[in-house]
Structure 1
């Protein structure tokens, strides 16, 4: 049985949608971000039983999730969704702040044209229905979020996110000796592939290292990266694996600008930071619309810990590109 939204828990983040220059973000603690600049969410508004709207604002450019071929980075949408998961589990379903929210499954389908960079920051709304809410001893243990997204009033896309919420004690017991944040070892970071091969302009943003095997790479988990490792982690974060899948899909795509508009991902196990993690990509059959698809898996200790199918569509020509960090 699902629990109704609790109005008393929303006092901190429940703000009206703001269209002027005074829009503020939700507290960074609710979305598990250390840097204020990396908080995209601006509010949460109940719309019915177990349904709500989360508002966000996307900058026209970003140091990591920067635009490509005139389109917002689709992974900025995924990061917005990740932040919404934390905000909702903590404020709506009362998961304590030290609980760990873990993705089980993620499906994203975006409209390429709705990602086009405009003359102002993008106003994004996520209409979310929470289903399959699981509780144990009164505490949240998991749920599924069904999302319809709009950008400046236009349909942007849809998503489904399956999440597990673990108490800190359970998480630490599950993680065992890996429960502590990993220490940085610069000597263990392999050199990157050429940035242009994976749609990047800076070597430090490349998360794949070359290997002698075609379409197989070593994951580069640079714990100094200010976005992917915004705060200390004891494992490779989900956003790093999704970025690796995106870069692998671009690496095996034809050498023309494409936009990765779709993701179907399953997270099986944690990716440890103290062992090699291999990223492998193979072309998959096109989808019903003829769009390109690539299957990507992450393998560690001979076990598949993550798998994803990335869908790409061609980018239009003649769109002005704003450089990252503009």
Structure 2
């Protein structure tokens, strides 16, 4: 479509379906309407539900994970409606960052309406279509910008994605290979009210010689801690549909919970978060989450599997 055609279409609003945001459960789709405002800009409306305990924090406000999930749903929506990306393609997260004003997370007596202003840049195109782009998002509540987010992701055709994932490509087999989820750390320690929503579990204590224990402590460093990633494939929100690897949103939630655990019992509101996704985290092997205090208001979190770095994040808190 030509630029003039796009601009003529810009006033038209379109409904968002669960399929467009890759959600099977309609209650998990938070984007409601979209319209094109320019060749690579969009305006999208979102509604945050008032009756979803999973997305509520201990103080009764909205949880920051709701912002992340809302932004994540923009990736498939804009890719499909804005750039004709086929549904069989895979969207792969490379990096993500948000900054928010605490006022965004204040809950009212009913659902909250948001406007998301999206700008797409650094587009990479191949013969098969869109191959990657950067997305910048302004989040407005009541007409006031209360958060910004930016992310880079790539679009992989099925044949390329199959080569990347190798033997782990099959979603059904990957889900079947996941072991039962272990017991999580206490929910208050993770900043959660429901034990089922905890994504960290304790690493069992093993008696080792004093010298080795000292060396291990030195490697971990002061003001730090480590857990196993707790993967519960029966969780309806984390696993809305079958996948062949740990979802990026679950890793981001692990980073948030790890940061909260470091500062427990002081509540740690994550005002900023940045993350980089280096490798896929498989469902059938242990993944170690390590968090370290970088400053009084900043934690660095890493995820490692098979002794390889898979994910890094910095969580800035108040």
What displacement does 1:272 show? 0.5
Residues 67 and 117 in structure 1, CA contact (< 8 A), matched pair in contact too: no
Deviates more, 1:186-195 or 1:89-98: 186-195
Q: Specify the alignment match of 1:324 in structure 2.
A: none
Q: Give me the whole-angstrom Cα distance separating, in 2, the residues matched to 1:224 and 1:117.
A: 28
**After superposition, what is the alpha-carbon deviation per residue over 1:120-159, rounded to whole angstroms, capped at 9, x for unaligned?**
2111111111000001114110000111110122221111
What displacement does 1:240 show? 0.6
Instruction: Specify which of 40, 52, 55 is matched with residue 65 of structure 1.
Output: 55
Instruction: Specify which of 13, 16, 25 is matched with residue 15 of structure 1.
Output: 13
Asked if 1:282 corresponds to 2:287, the answer is: no
Q: Specify the alignment match of 1:316 in structure 2.
A: none
Q: Give me the whole-angstrom Cα distance separating, in 1, the residues matched to 2:247 and 2:314.
A: 18
TM-score, length basis structure 1: 0.85
Secondary structure of the residue aligned to 2:159 is: helix
Q: Give me the whole-angstrom Cα distance separating, in 2, the residues matched to 1:5 and 1:80.
A: 30
**After superposition, what is the alpha-carbon deviation per residue over 1:138-187, rounded to whole angstroms, capped at 9, x for unaligned?**
41100001111101222211111101000111111111100012234675
Could you tell me which runs of 5 or more consecutive residues in structure 2 were left unpaired when the two chains were aligned: 206-216, 218-223
Secondary structure of the residue aligned to 1:240 is: helix
Q: Specify the alignment match of 2:251 in structure 1.
A: 241
Q: Give me the whole-angstrom Cα distance separating, in 2, the residues matched to 1:40 and 1:194.
A: 29
Q: Give me the whole-angstrom Cα distance separating, in 1, the residues matched to 2:51 and 2:310.
A: 32
Q: Give me the whole-angstrom Cα distance separating, in 1, the residues matched to 2:292 and 2:188.
A: 19
Secondary structure of the residue aligned to 1:258 is: coil
Q: How does 1:305-320 map to 2 (within 5 A)?
A: 305-313=310-318
Q: Specify the alignment match of 2:175 in structure 1.
A: 183
Residues 5 and 46 in structure 1, CA contact (< 8 A), matched pair in contact too: no
Q: Specify the alignment match of 1:80 in structure 2.
A: 70
Could you tell me which runs of 5 or more consecutive residues in structure 1 were left unpaired when the two chains were aligned: 17-24, 287-291, 314-326
Q: Specify the alignment match of 1:197 in structure 2.
A: 189
Higher relative contact order (CA 8 A, sep 6+): 1
4+ runs of 1 displaced by more than 6 Å?
none
Q: Give me the whole-angstrom Cα distance separating, in 2, the residues matched to 1:254 and 1:5.
A: 55
**After superposition, what is the alpha-carbon deviation per residue over 1:221-262, rounded to whole angstroms, capped at 9, x for unaligned?**
111100000001100000110010011010001412232121
Q: Specify the alignment match of 1:29 in structure 2.
A: 19
Do the aligned partners of residues 143 and 4 (structure 1) sit closer, same or farther apart at CA in structure 2, a change above 3 Å counting?
A: farther
Q: Specify the alignment match of 2:46 in structure 1.
A: 56
Asked if 1:272 corresponds to 2:282, the answer is: yes
Instruction: Specify which of 148, 160, 164 is matched with residue 174 of structure 1.
Output: 164
Residues 69 and 257 in structure 1, CA contact (< 8 A), matched pair in contact too: no
Deviates more, 1:225-234 or 1:111-120: 111-120
Secondary structure of the residue aligned to 1:127 is: strand
Q: Which has the larger radius of gyration?
A: 2
Deviates more, 1:59-68 or 1:126-135: 59-68
How many residue pairs are counted as aligned between the two chains?
296
Residues 271 and 305 in structure 1, CA contact (< 8 A), matched pair in contact too: yes
What displacement does 1:5 show? 9.6
Q: How does 1:109-128 map to 2 (within 5 A)?
A: 109-128=99-118
Quick check: which one's helix share is greater? 2
What displacement does 1:191 show? 1.4
Q: Specify the alignment match of 2:149 in structure 1.
A: 159
Asked if 1:298 corresponds to 2:308, the answer is: no
RMSD: 2.2
TM-score, length basis structure 2: 0.87
Q: Give me the whole-angstrom Cα distance separating, in 2, the residues matched to 1:58 and 1:234.
A: 28
